[in-house]
Structure 1
Amino acid sequence: MADDTARPRLGRGLAALIGDFSDGAPEEAARTAGHAQRKVAVEFLRPNPRNPRRRFSEPELDELAASIRQRGVIQPIVVRALSGVPGTFEIVAGERRWRAAQRAGLNEVPVVVVEIDDRTSLEYAILENVQRADLNAIEEASGYERLMGEFKYTQAELADLLGKSRSHLANTLRLLQLPPGIQDRVIASEITAGHARALLSVRDPEAVARRIVAEGLSVREVEALAAAEAPQDDTPRPGRPRRSAEGDAALRSLEDVLGRALGYSVAVKAKASGEGEIRIRYTSAEERDALCRKLGGA
């Protein structure tokens, strides 16, 4: 990828377009960024097919629509021209405001038009939602995975671009390893992202997910269930006592600490004798090389 001077982090350029503005600030921000604000009929805007956000809360849309009826759309919607359809635009950031504006009965909405490619359009859509905490953890992970799959970002590059820690990125992506039914529960807000991360460590995550919903288990209680489950290779043998739940919890804590420090997914295995191994997972040759540089290797 290009260096930072050629490709600045998204936060700086995008903040002027989709940051939180007070009254009158959008116009100034648009002028500062070199983009003129204009009005466009709502029927000439199209949703962004790359938007990782798939679920829009009906009560939240109603609340925003009520605000728009009183004050209008304070913050302009960021759009780009739709190829092959003159006069029509694709929403880059602000689909929620567009939906609420229609509920409020508006015929036109303020927009700023930007010239960007598919990759940057996806970056903007993810960044806006992540910065506003509008994405659930599964949508966030899917957006990251799409950026890495379609546009060949490494985890390290993507974390730097979006202003997230590498450990956050790695832990979020791990949620896509959960069964589809559990992912659906996260999307529906039946269980939290913390629950989902804890479910990665249990033997039967779907059964425990049902208990979370039925019994209201906390994240700590799910972590305790995971800690109580002995690993497959932890059968007691003479001279080798079974590891305690506290020992398993300590290992997971060590994995978290190392993962945050390195920015990679880390697994720690330990034996009663004190021996063990630490595994660091990377997903590409670029990430391997970056890890070697971080560890001081060639």
Structure 2
Amino acid sequence: MDQEVFDDNKIEHIPINEIRPNPYQPRKHFNEHALEDLAQSIVQHGVMQPIVVRKSIKGYTLVAGERRLKASRMAKKTTIPAIIKQITDEEMMVLSIIENLQRENLTAIEEAESYQQLMTHLELTQVEVAEKLGKSRPYVANMLRLLALPSRIQKLITSGKLSSAHGRTLLPLKEEDVMMTVAQKSMRENWSVRTLEKYVNDFVFRAPRKESVTQKPKLIRQYEAQLKDLYGATVDIAVVKKTGRITFEFTSEEEFKRLIDELSNKE
């Protein structure tokens, strides 16, 4: 589908004021300085790559090319080169996300929200979303975990003050105020993800009594990390004498159902 959409299409110049925004656009933040630079380029050279639109009852609906459309408006253009497509809502949604992912324009939170949007509106599983977008299932699962973070932590990630990996590492802390305190300490002291993970683990699993905590063997910690990457969830492996326990942590009913589905379908 993705390749066919852009091949062998006629380019037309259509009125900009007849183009409505894409309702499935995952990107919410646009760099104003970059838009101004693009607008200046359009003034000098025109729009080098056509946008993609879908014909609607009145005018057109944008499918791909919002930056070019915004910059063209800034450049006071009245028309814009466009390819007019006959596509479904599903194709429109997927194309919007793919364009932004390929251009690396989405923030981590916007990317996670786009995956959630596909799952909700198209009733897709994480596996199906991964297949449609050419991503691995664990990658999609890890991105979706960001949506379980409080909005204040999400804003730190969106602004670039905190990485998405740091954000996911904060999830076991559960309480928003605790997350913010630790996040600020991490940013202030420029912690690596590994340093933050050790701090969070020590914080979460700290014994209430003055008892020595035995460090887990390196092999066990490696297995925990492998399972975490595979299933996109925090994993704890505990071994007492000859009895072992593997615990998967989830933060919502949806994540619980996702884990059950993943565990049930593993070959």
- How far did 1:99 drift? 0.6
User: Is 2:172–2:204's contact at 8 Å kept on the other side of the alignment?
Assistant: no
- Is 1:258 aligned with 2:227? yes
Which letter maps to 1:270?
A: A
Which letter maps to 2:34?
A: E
Give me the CA root mean square deviation. Answer: 3.0
Rounded Cα–Cα distance in structure 2 between residues aligned with 1:180 and 1:290: 27
Rounded Cα–Cα distance in structure 2 between residues aligned with 1:285 and 1:38: 47
- Structure 2 counterpart of 1:142: 113
User: Is 1:53–1:135's contact at 8 Å kept on the other side of the alignment?
Assistant: yes
Rounded Cα–Cα distance in structure 2 between residues aligned with 1:248 and 1:62: 55
User: Is 2:227–2:235's contact at 8 Å kept on the other side of the alignment?
Assistant: no
Identical aligned residues as a percent: 32
- Structure 1 counterpart of 2:86: 115
SS across alignment from 2:61: strand
- Is 1:95 aligned with 2:69? no
- How far did 1:280 drift? 9.0
Rounded Cα–Cα distance in structure 1 between residues aligned with 2:218 and 2:186: 20
Correspondence for 2:133 among 136, 156, 162? 162
- How far did 1:117 drift? 2.1
SS across alignment from 1:116: coil
Residues 248 and 136 of structure 1: is their aligned pair in 2 closer, same or farther, counting only changes over 3 Å? farther
Rounded Cα–Cα distance in structure 2 between residues aligned with 1:272 and 1:236: 19
Which letter maps to 1:269?
A: I
User: Is 2:130–2:136's contact at 8 Å kept on the other side of the alignment?
Assistant: yes
User: Is 1:51–1:125's contact at 8 Å kept on the other side of the alignment?
Assistant: yes
User: Is 2:108–2:143's contact at 8 Å kept on the other side of the alignment?
Assistant: yes
- Structure 1 counterpart of 2:235: 267
Rounded Cα–Cα distance in structure 2 between residues aligned with 1:74 and 1:272: 65
- Is 1:127 aligned with 2:98? yes
- How far did 1:271 drift? 3.5
User: Is 2:224–2:237's contact at 8 Å kept on the other side of the alignment?
Assistant: no
Q: Would you say how many aligned residue pairs link Structure 1 and Structure 2?
A: 260
Rounded Cα–Cα distance in structure 2 between residues aligned with 1:260 and 1:147: 22
- Is 1:39 aligned with 2:13? yes
TM-score, structure 1 normalization: 0.75
SS across alignment from 1:275: strand
- Is 1:58 aligned with 2:32? yes
Per-residue displacement from partner, 1:181-229 (whole Å, max 9, x unpaired)?
A: 1112222222221221222234521212223444444433322322322
TM-score, structure 2 normalization: 0.83
